[in-house]
Structure 1
């Protein structure tokens, strides 16, 4: 099976990581093309566009097809989309729309998060039986020695959307369109409301698409959350150990890197600072895992080699507007979903005004029973907040 198109989604500050990923993809799939979705594309200066064009030409001179696209061009009201999301939410919420657009000219579209490196070709070269492929957060339950329980993924999604691949079929396109609309409305980081950017709705994928393949190869999408949940380990030579067997490392997800002032205290991932050692049995320090530390060093060397060329392009100038409170963004999303026509630019109004306008529309468009149900749900959610926070990381 030929994977002919790969893509990732970033803001400009992630450019070195995206280029390191692209280079690793081209090493494994030299005849593919790689597309970088740039959420701040519309804010680029002329000089920055020229810098990106030079990068494209540099890759082309090596026989590698790299391109940059503006994902906001896929939306009728880009201003409303940008208002509703912070930069992480926006970069993730555009993924289904981009996948659908890329399928117009590709047979297979593969997404990888920018903080990922592909070390070898995917282990399904001869498999043509799926239309949609995803990887789970974990491929086995946690045990008494695990720092992270599989219950964590009930909040954030069964599948890790740092990877997915799609093939052209009617069910694939129908799902991508539904997923796009869902993300437009509810692509916020709000696990307490059953939402987590683009990831949580894909729990429903096997319900909507017949030919779904869950890629359970232990060498795929290895990351801090499964190393400390299902027991995978990185071994010397770029191998993965899992339940007494040895597997090739296909791709590692370098998510939430930790860079403390004291390098000896560096953890495998920043969120693991919430845990520390558990009863002295399990260390979360990178120095305790020499093979993994070597992998991290290689990753940082890859990005540092590319950093000078990206530095010449520079950051986006001007301060970014902080995202409004998630409650306001979800109110606006629900009002828009119910048919509200929002005139003007909400960024020019206070969050309180946007929230009030949205709430007023929802109340007017809802029955009394709907309003009572919503209020009851809000009160129940508040009561559950403390219990939720206590359960997230415990066995």
Structure 2
């Protein structure tokens, strides 16, 4: 059995539901679980906002001193820090799960993942790099940004339930208890920088260069989109027509698209994290990508249908207000005055 899961707080359940729909349509043999970094009892969701997929609340998986992690991390850091703990829980709780696959909630799966399933019969870990070829300019993101954020994108990871993967998960857990921060000056970007070590520390790791995997704003420079006669999305490499000698380039099916940084309230923006591409606005000095626009229009329609606007109104119960978190980090070495400041802030 293959267990696929995501992690989110209630404010991202529209994305998690959309991912679940795509897996149900393309890989119905997968067991899909939403790891919830939140409390359903505190949210008291109305019936229409309760997903059809099982939700596993983070306080049920036995993370040691989880409260201290909540004190240290903001919502992004916390949702990434618990990733290996969920994987470890699935290893222990679902012995029939021979493979465990993590997807960020803002992903849509477009095909049966046959090649990935085959790879996980052989490899302990499957990772995808942010890019498979050099970035063409210094627009954002470029290779300097990837050096800051990690070679691999951990919006996806595939793992076998074998000894090597278990050792990796245990090592990853130890690192993320305290060091899953966004702190570029310290060389940290949540869980991703740590996994740069995975192919060095552990054997049997596949770095998959499939152009249809983990497609996102960071690799659009090397991937262009078209639909075949059956309406299926395919990807070709960055070769502009006319093609040499009238030939057509090799194409690969789009496996899953990662809509990182997309905001359905700003439907004309590919991602808030990039400056290289636009859909079709000629007034901007960006490369126009009308080929990708239908994929984003479809995603926006699914998010709205899955109650995105309602979910966004729910704050995560585990997250301290930003001003308190900032004091905890900046003044952690001044415990007495720090505690007085915290008491004052929390009283307001």
TM-score (norm 2): 0.80
Distance 1:282 1:136, change over 3 A: farther
Contact 1:267/1:273, CA 8 A, preserved across alignment: no
Question: How big is the shift at 1:112?
Answer: 0.3
TM-score (norm 1): 0.71
Contact 2:236/2:252, CA 8 A, preserved across alignment: yes
Contact 1:186/1:330, CA 8 A, preserved across alignment: no
User: C-alpha offsets along residues 123-154 of structure 1, whole Å, 9 cap, x if unaligned?
Assistant: 23433220111110001122358764223211
Instruction: List, as ranges, runs of 4+ consecutive aligned residues in structure 1 with deviation greater than 6 Å.
Output: 49-52, 274-277
Q: Which residue of 2 aligns with 1:241?
A: 236
Q: Which residue of 2 aligns with 1:250?
A: 255
How many residue pairs match? The answer is: 319
Q: Which residue of 2 aligns with 1:368?
A: none
User: C-alpha offsets along residues 31-61 of structure 1, whole Å, 9 cap, x if unaligned?
Assistant: 221111111126634x339767x533xxxxx
* Alignment equivalent of 1:102, drawn from 82, 87, 90: 90
Question: How big is the shift at 1:272?
Answer: 2.4
Q: Which residue of 1 aligns with 2:45?
A: 48
Name the CA distance, whole Å, in 2 between partners of 1:349 and 1:134.
Answer: 45
Q: Which residue of 2 aligns with 1:268?
A: 270
* Alignment equivalent of 1:173, drawn from 166, 170, 182: 166
SS at match of 1:268: coil
Question: How big is the shift at 1:92?
Answer: 0.8
SS at match of 2:306: helix
Name the CA distance, whole Å, in 1 between partners of 2:144 and 2:128.
Answer: 17
Name the CA distance, whole Å, in 2 between partners of 1:88 and 1:9.
Answer: 11
Contact 2:39/2:317, CA 8 A, preserved across alignment: no
Distance 1:195 1:5, change over 3 A: same
Is the aligned partner of 1:126 residue 2:118?
Answer: yes
Distance 1:188 1:349, change over 3 A: farther
Distance 1:212 1:350, change over 3 A: farther
* Alignment equivalent of 2:30, drawn from 32, 39, 42: 32
SS at match of 1:270: coil
Name the CA distance, whole Å, in 1 between partners of 2:264 and 2:117.
Answer: 37
Name the CA distance, whole Å, in 1 between partners of 2:31 and 2:258.
Answer: 21
Contact 1:147/1:275, CA 8 A, preserved across alignment: no
Q: Which residue of 2 aligns with 1:372?
A: none
Name the CA distance, whole Å, in 1 between partners of 2:137 and 2:69.
Answer: 43
Question: How big is the shift at 1:99?
Answer: 0.8
Name the CA distance, whole Å, in 1 between partners of 2:157 and 2:330.
Answer: 26
User: C-alpha offsets along residues 224-274 of structure 1, whole Å, 9 cap, x if unaligned?
Assistant: 01114xx2122345211214431111000001115677x6xx331112259
Gaps of 5+ in 1: 57-65, 336-341, 354-395
SS at match of 2:199: helix
Contact 1:48/1:313, CA 8 A, preserved across alignment: no
Structure ID, larger Rg: 1
For 1:1-395, list aligned pairs within 5 A: 4-41=2-39, 44-45=42-43, 47-48=44-45, 55-56=51-52, 66-73=53-60, 74-104=62-92, 105=94, 106-122=97-113, 123-127=115-119, 128-144=121-137, 148-228=141-221, 231-236=222-227, 237=231, 238-243=233-238, 244-258=249-263, 266-273=268-275, 284=286, 288-307=288-307, 311=310, 315-316=314-315, 321-323=320-322, 324=324, 328-329=328-329, 350=341
Question: How big is the shift at 1:293?
Answer: 0.9
Distance 1:348 1:196, change over 3 A: same
Q: Which residue of 1 aligns with 2:244?
A: none
Distance 1:49 1:126, change over 3 A: same
